[in-house]
A and B are shown apart, each in its own frame.
Chain A
């Protein structure tokens, strides 16, 4: 018969003759099609590989002790029933009773301890927690006690909701190599879904009907099947979305604004600009070891010369928002010290940029309209983004053009990603754009990213600009040790950090990248939206976002009967 199952099986109540455990054709009305997270074939289901496990490995299969609600900035008990500091250096977690692994075994405190202790392996990404955790022990089946040498409260909260708990009875005895590189096929987790099948271009999850959360949390994710489609390209994703073959696209879809405005049945979180929630900040990273980027005056002049508005409107068609000069995401608005911003912040202002340059001694001596270094040597800066990242390529063209107006010669360049990473980690660049830090429970993660010390020979993930300011780094560490419920305490430290940041400006926040999310209402409705009393959770399947509300979104969906 008709070979496009998109239209097939839509009549509700079709008993779907195929064996539900192994259906060759998934009933459309029970299936959620998503895309936008997985850029390669789903090659592993290893919760430790939090950068490339198949979409949903954590969140759908493996779960964490807590979730984090960015709207309230609160941890939400999940596998843990509660958690609390019993003294300044001891944290106690009470686990939820009655939780079982998908193979039927009970979930206990031993699993939690095992998972934390896995981090003692050097190559496990959270290995560094053992620099400040002293020990973790299972007091009884439902209680875990963690003792700290240094209580990094901010970072600990991050671990509490970010760390997927793996079953000891299965993972025990795995070698370091297997833990790091194992595919972990047929993952056994506590989550609401189990693995069903996967192929080069998709992974299929099936709902677990005995999931503990149904009773404990009164939550039930609605789709019986979730198919995550591997991204081949944005345009393909858009095509599928328009053809109603996809329900949730977490891709960056250029022109999404038109989709929302046009009559395509596609919607986004906001019905108007910026359409998307903000997910991370795009920074202009300056190599502060090089002249003239080592001069704060020059950096500030450069910041004032950038026409962020044109990037936001021209390149992104208003799909993003200009960033606060502090770089903190809108979700962290309360931590932005407006007085500091109004005093030391920057905005696009060519005249001011010119003045700053002139005042600092950068003058155009040879009349080519471009300023020279103080010693008269030419300034010729490169700005790089990976080749093929079209929106960024466009963005740095804008930056180059607007900097030129202020008299700074900046040339856009598009090296290959590998080459860029190489240059970046070796500090062999002038400027680049980076957005590798996501929204989290605390601005601390941002400051850690911006100012971490000491500088290594290769800076692989943080402080690419090699900005050395020990005072500032001390402040960041101090922030880490402020208790997470001490908002005022946090604000105080953050305000100090912001003051230095804006005065020194070693890294320039540009715009907030969106939590790209385009949804179709054809099969599923009640998607999160800013409008009315629609859910306000994050409409996404991105890795590490399931705990930030992504999973909750699934539980609020409703089948669209029509």
Chain B
């Protein structure tokens, strides 16, 4: 057990290290200097003033230090929770911007991921080996998984937003309100949340349903199912067992899919200009704000890692096989 988690932690630690390093490295070795574009944007017409500003900002972002020093500084400040200052929203600290966006992303992602997983699995399990239902669930599932995230989002926005006018198609809450603890504001939030959520939920739903259906069919054909049938156990029990076992790979599947879902949330947020991390990433890219980019990226890596870790733990708890495996290879 210890060893298992030790190894997992090692992998996660390494992943984190590599991801953060890549993410630190990439912008720094790319062409173009963020400071000069920043200076260019200030429109300082006087060359001398521009030069002073350049020196000033280079110092401010620590870009005048040797590259290895920058790298160490980066880690050092990172552990102090300091992600640097955003260029795009200068002079707001990156952490502040991210913290402002995270609640939106989480509010979108967590329900979408969990609900689509639960509902999808339920549908898939229910449809497996039931001909009529199967024939309905499968095609719908496939269409949903094959749809590009943003197209589904665009369709929803167009159909339910622009044409039907039922839902707003932009923003996290109305521009005429300001955040407060009132029922109206909550409804307003919900109203804006519905379409992005629906598009994420629907897009992920099909995959889970199909995956579950296939797994369940496999389980229903397995030896233990046959044995139970031979002993006359009712379908209900057999299905229940099959479901339980089929859900396990789906849990791993969830871990595998997290990255993809994060990406999906990104384009969805962009379509609905929902104020989450996805929009931030796009902005950071468009504005060459690599401190912000690093921050958001780091946050996502952390989120995915933590989620994966939780999934790993859950998996160990629910699947006795992994536990036995951890004790050593000998059964």
Contact = CB atoms under 8 A, between A and B. Distances in A.
A242 B180 CA distance: 27
Contact of B52 (A3, A123, A449): A123
Interface in B49-104: 49-54, 56, 60, 86, 88-92, 97, 100-101
A456 to B, nearest CB: 5
B40 A232 contact: no
Nearest to A388: B286
Contacts of B175: 33, 201-202, 227, 229, 240, 245
A51 B178 CA distance: 27
B32 A199 contact: no
B330 interface: no
Nearest to B187: A3
A460 B36 contact: yes
Interface in B259-311: 270, 273, 275, 279, 283, 286-288
A514 interface: no
Contact of A416 (B86, B92, B180, B288): B288
Nearest to B85: A181
Contacts of B180: 24
Given A200-B101, A201-B171, A24 B42 contact: no
A421 interface: yes
Identify which of B40, B88, B270 gathers the most chain A CB atoms within 10 Å of its CB: B40
B48 interface: yes
A317 to B, nearest CB: 21
Contact of A239 (B45, B169, B174, B270): B169
A51 B30 CA distance: 25
A25 B36 contact: no
A128 B273 contact: no
Interface string A378-398: 000000000010000000000
A460 B90 contact: no
Contacts of B91: 43-44, 181-183
**Which 10 residue pairs across A and B have the least CB separation, nearest first?**
A418-B32, A128-B46, A232-B273, A421-B37, A419-B32, A43-B89, A5-B176, A419-B31, A3-B187, A418-B288
Contact of B90 (A52, A227, A420): A52
A41 B289 CA distance: 13
B314 interface: no
Interface residues of A, number: 69
B196 interface: no
Interface in A216-260: 227, 229, 232-233, 236, 239-240, 242-243, 245
Nearest to B32: A418
Interface in B161-213: 161-162, 165, 168-172, 174-180, 182, 184-185, 187-188, 190-191
Given A25-B184, A232-B279, A425 B40 contact: yes
12 contacts: A3-B184, A4-B191, A125-B43, A128-B45, A204-B178, A239-B162, A240-B170, A240-B175, A419-B32, A422-B36, A424-B40, A460-B50
Nearest to B88: A40
B160 interface: no
Contacts of A5: 174, 176-177, 188
A461 interface: yes
B294 to A, nearest CB: 15
A123 B89 contact: no
A458 B36 contact: yes
Interface string B235-276: 000000000000000000000000000000000001001010
B150 to A, nearest CB: 12
A204 B179 CA distance: 13
B221 interface: no
B51 to A, nearest CB: 8
A462 B40 CA distance: 10
Nearest to A460: B50
Contacts of A85: none
A28 interface: yes
Given A4-B174, A200-B275, A43 B92 contact: yes
A88 interface: no
Contacts of B321: none
A128 B32 contact: no
B97 A461 contact: no
A243 to B, nearest CB: 8
Given A25-B176, A232-B170, A417 B92 contact: no
A55 to B, nearest CB: 14
A123 B44 CA distance: 9
A460 B44 contact: yes
Given A4-B168, A40-B283, A425-B40, A462 B45 contact: yes
Nearest to B33: A422
Nearest to A421: B37
